[in-house]
Amino acid sequence: MSYFSYKNDILHAENVALDAIAQQFGSPTYVYSKAALTANFSAYADACRQHSPAPDSSLICYSVKSNSNLAVLQLLSRLGSGFDIVSGGELLRVIAAGGDPRKVIFSGVGKSREEMRLALSHDILCFNVESIPELHRLNEAAAAMGKRAAISLRVNPNVDAKTHPYISTGLKENKFGVAYEDALACYRTAAVLPHIEVAGIDCHIGSQLLDDAPLLEALDKLIDLVDQLASEGIHLHHLDIGGGIGITYDDEKPVAIGSYLGRLFARIDAWRQDKYQGAPIKVLFEPGRSIVGNAGILLTEIQYLKHSEAKNFAIVDAAMNDLMRPAMYEAWHGVQTVARRNSAEQVYDVVGPVCESGDWLARSRPLAVEAGDLLALMSAGAYGMTMSSNYNTRGRAAEVMVDGEQVHLIRQRENPADLFALESLLA
Ligand SMILES: *Cc1c(COP(=O)(O)O)cnc(C)c1O
C-alpha cells in the first residue's frame, strides 16, 4: 500500500495534499509518512514476534544513517527499535531522540578513540569491530575506563549481493569487515583481550538487495563460523545479519520482509535444534532503506522550463545537494506531478540549479507540466536528507512528517546565515 496517492487529482501524503504543504513550508521539502514508517517497521517486528517469540530473542537495529531525523528516531524508538550507528554523532542523535543506548550497535571501519569513549560511557550493546587494530584500540579505551567492551566481528562472507558496486559491501575487495578466512584468528585474538567481551558476529553484504538468496548464503557462512568458534570454547550470544533489503523505486520486486524473515528464522531454528537443543542465539537486523525509503518524498517546485534542440529541461528548486543519489549512483527516482494536468506530455530531464552537469534528479521523463508546478521525487526517504550538503551555499530542505490529517515540522529549512555561522573572518 502506498501512503502517497492521488485524491481528486492532487497527490497526498496520507490525508494531506502536497500543494498545501508546499504553501505552508515552502520547497524543497522532505515529506515523510508516519503511517508508512510504522508499517515498514512493523513488517520486521511482526515477523520477529511470529518466528522468534522468545523474549529478547531478536532486535531490530534501525540503520540511523539512512534517515537520522530526531522525529524518525523517536518514532522508531517508541515502536521498540534499537539502532545501528556509524558515528558518535549518530549516538548523540539516538539519545536526543529518546532512544535507548543499550540497544545501540556501533558499525564502521574508522571509529575514533573519542567515539569509542562516548559509546562506552553510554554502555551500548555492541561494537561491530572491523579490523584487528580497531580491536586493540577498543581494548585500550575500555581498559582506561575500567570497562569491558562487548564486540562482534564484522565478517566479510564473500558473497555477491548482486547490487550496485558502490552499495555492495560483502565481497573480498571491499574495505568492510574482516576476511572470512581470517575471522577465526581474529576471534582468538579478541577472546584473550582482557577488556573485550566477545558477544556476537555480524555481516552486512550490501544494500538494495531484491532477493534474499545472498543473505541466506551469508547466514550459512556465519552459522559455520559460530559452530567452529563454539568448538574452541568461544560462545556467541548474538548473530547480526545486517540490513540491505531493497525497495521498489521503479518496477523492482524486492522480497517481502515477512517471507525473508520466515526463511531466515527457519534456518536458524533448524540449526539451533540440531546443535544447541534450541538454546536461543539472539538475532539482530540492521535495516535502513526498507524502513524509510518509501516512507518519504522530496517535494520541489519547477522554476523554469527550458527547451533546447536536443532536450527539454524542467529546472526545479531541489538539487543534487538535496538528493545526491542520482548524481552519485545514477539512482532512479519516480517523478510525479502534484497536480495532474490533462495537457500533452513532453519528455524532460529534471535538473537542479547547482553548477554541475551531474546535477540532475531524473532523466527522460514524460511529464505534463508548466513552470510553477510542484513535483514529488518519490522513494526519497532513505539516503536523501542524510546525504544532503550545503554545496553552492544552499540551505538544506525543510522536513515534515505527516500523521493522518496533521503535518509536523520536524526540521526547519536552513537559512544562509546558518550556513556560515561557524566561519570567521581574518583578524
Ligand atoms: C548502511 C548500513 C546498513 C543499512 O543498509 P540498508 O541497505 O539501508 O538496509 C546496515 N548495516 C550497516 C553496517 C550499514 O553500513
Taking only the tens place, the pLDDT of each residue in 9-31 is 999 999 999 999 999 999 999 99
The pLDDT score that the predictor gives to residue 163 is 66
Across 87-174, the runs of DSSP E, i.e. the strands, are 104-106, 126-129, 149-156
Residue type (1 letter), 4: F
Give the C-alpha separation, 283 to 121, whole Å. 25
Ligand 1 interacting residues, C-beta cut-off 6 A: 63, 65-66, 84, 107, 204, 207, 242-244, 286-290, 382
Which pLDDT band, with edges at 50, 70 and 90, does 272 fall under?
confident
Query: What digits encode the pLDDT tens for the residues 293-347?
Result: 999 999 999 999 999 999 999 999 999 999 999 999 999 999 999 999 999 999 9
Which pLDDT band, with edges at 50, 70 and 90, does 176 fall under?
confident
The pLDDT score that the predictor gives to residue 347 is 98
Which pLDDT band, with edges at 50, 70 and 90, does 276 fall under?
confident
The pLDDT score that the predictor gives to residue 280 is 77
**Residue ranges of the domains in the chain?**
4-33+294-419, 34-292
Query: What digits encode the pLDDT tens for the residues 101-136?
Result: 999 999 999 999 999 999 999 999 999 999 999 999
Which pLDDT band, with edges at 50, 70 and 90, does 274 fall under?
confident
**Catalytic amino acids?**
355
Is residue 221's pLDDT more than 80?
yes
The pLDDT score that the predictor gives to residue 273 is 80
How far away, in angstroms, is 393 Cα from ligand 1 center? 29
> Per mean pLDDT, which range of 1-5, 98-102, 124-128, 351-355 is the poorest?
1-5
| DSSP for residue 75 | H
32-59 mean pLDDT = 96
Instruction: Assign a CATH topology to domain 34-292.
Output: TIM Barrel (3.20.20)
Which pLDDT band, with edges at 50, 70 and 90, does 165 fall under?
low
| Sign of the alpha-carbon dihedral angle for 67, 73, 75, 80 | positive
Cis omega before residue 416 (within 30°)?
A: no
172-190 mean pLDDT = 89
Residues near 322 by beta carbon (within 8 Å), at least 6 away in sequence: 28, 298, 300, 352, 384, 385, 388, 394, 396, 397
Name the CATH architecture for the domain at 4-33+294-419. Answer: Beta Barrel (2.40)
The pLDDT score that the predictor gives to residue 137 is 98
Atom of ligand 1 nearest to the CA of 286: 10
Long-range contacts from 24-27, C-beta under 8 angstroms, 24+ separation: 24/407, 25/398, 25/400, 25/407, 25/409, 25/413, 26/398, 26/413, 27/299, 27/300, 27/301, 27/317, 27/318, 27/374, 27/397
Give me 149's grid cell: 567492551
Ligand 1 pocket test: pick from 37, 68, 76, 84 the residue with the most ligand atoms within 8 Å of its Cβ: 84
| DSSP for residue 166 | G
Give the C-alpha separation, 124 to 112, whole Å. 16
Q: What is the pTM of this model?
A: 0.96
Ligand 1 pocket test: pick from 44, 60, 106, 107 the residue with the most ligand atoms within 8 Å of its Cβ: 107
For the chain, what percentages of helix, strand and coil (3-state, to nearest 5) are there? 35, 25, 40
Ligand 1 pocket test: pick from 44, 127, 204 the residue with the most ligand atoms within 8 Å of its Cβ: 204
The pLDDT score that the predictor gives to residue 164 is 62
Average pLDDT, the chain: 95
Give the C-alpha separation, 427 to 423, whole Å. 12
How far away, in angstroms, is 165 Cα from ligand 1 center? 14
Is residue 167's pLDDT more than 80?
no
373-402 mean pLDDT = 98
How far away, in angstroms, is 63 Cα from ligand 1 center? 6
Give me 9's grid cell: 487529482
How far away, in angstroms, is 242 Cα from ligand 1 center? 7
The pLDDT score that the predictor gives to residue 171 is 62
Is residue 172's pLDDT more than 70?
no
Task: Give the DSSP letter string of 201-267.
Answer: EE---BSSB--SHHHHHHHHHHHHHHHHHHHTT---SEEE----B---SSS--PPPHHHHHHHHHHH
Is residue 279's pLDDT more than 90?
no
Q: Around Cβ 203, how many Cβ atoms within 10 Å?
A: 30
The pLDDT score that the predictor gives to residue 170 is 62
| DSSP for residue 353 | S
53-58 mean pLDDT = 92
Residues near 58 by beta carbon (within 8 Å), at least 6 away in sequence: 48, 52, 282, 283, 284, 285
